[in-house]
């Protein structure tokens, strides 16, 4: 069974995950997730919210509190594991390394650069961007 530390790390790495997603990834039963997180929820280190899914059902989703993010090793894995294959990008569509750069930092910020322009997003802005990108149907866009 997964340790509480691995569950907490997963929530920091993938905010908004459901108990089923956590259980699937950590090879444990979904009903164990809530019980193992109870003291952290009571302490405010983990926040839970309800998310409406298809069919009108609500599921609990978990988010890290700032104190939990500070306690965890300080390295937040922003990139999530892909569940679907990505369409190949033609070489002519790829940017050369000098044209386009990006980087994730341990404080949760993101830097994006193209040419002589550079944007640095805060942790909150990075989270908003990733939530937005996660909602996009990449296959539909890439096929078009």
The CA–CA distances, whole Å, from 79 to 4, 48, 63, 136 equal 22, 22, 16, 15
Residue 81 pLDDT class (50, 70, 90 cuts) = very low
pLDDT for residue 80: 45
Domain residue ranges in the chain: 4-71, 91-143
pLDDT at 18 over 70: yes
Task: Name the residue among 71, 66, 80 with its Cα closest to residue 5.
Answer: 71
Q: How many CB atoms lie within 10 A of CB 121?
A: 18
Helix and strand totals (H; E) in the chain: 6, 6
pLDDT for residue 120: 86
Distance CA 117, CA 79 (A): 23
Q: Which CATH number does 4-71 carry?
A: 1.10.10.10
Distance CA 109, CA 64 (A): 16
Read off the tokens for 135.
């909602």
Mean pLDDT of 22-42: 86
pLDDT at 65 over 50: yes
pLDDT at 76 over 80: no
């Amino acid at each position: 069974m997964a340790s509480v530390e691995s569950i907490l790390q997963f929530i920091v790495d993938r905010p908004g995950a459901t108990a089923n997603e956590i259980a699937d990834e950590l090879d444990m039963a979904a009903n164990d997730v809530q019980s193992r997180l109870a003291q952290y929820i009571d302490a405010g280190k983990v926040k839970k919210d309800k998310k409406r899914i298809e069919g009108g059902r609500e599921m609990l989703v978990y988010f890290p509190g700032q104190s939990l993010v500070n306690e965890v090793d300080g390295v937040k894995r922003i990139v999530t594991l892909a569940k679907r294959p990505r369409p190949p990008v033609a070489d002519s569509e790829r940017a050369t390394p000098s044209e386009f750069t990006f980087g994730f930092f341990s404080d949760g910020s993101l830097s994006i650069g193209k040419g002589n322009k550079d944007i640095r997003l805060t942790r909150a802005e990075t989270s908003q961007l990733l939530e937005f990108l996660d909602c996009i149907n990449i296959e539909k866009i890439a096929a078009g």
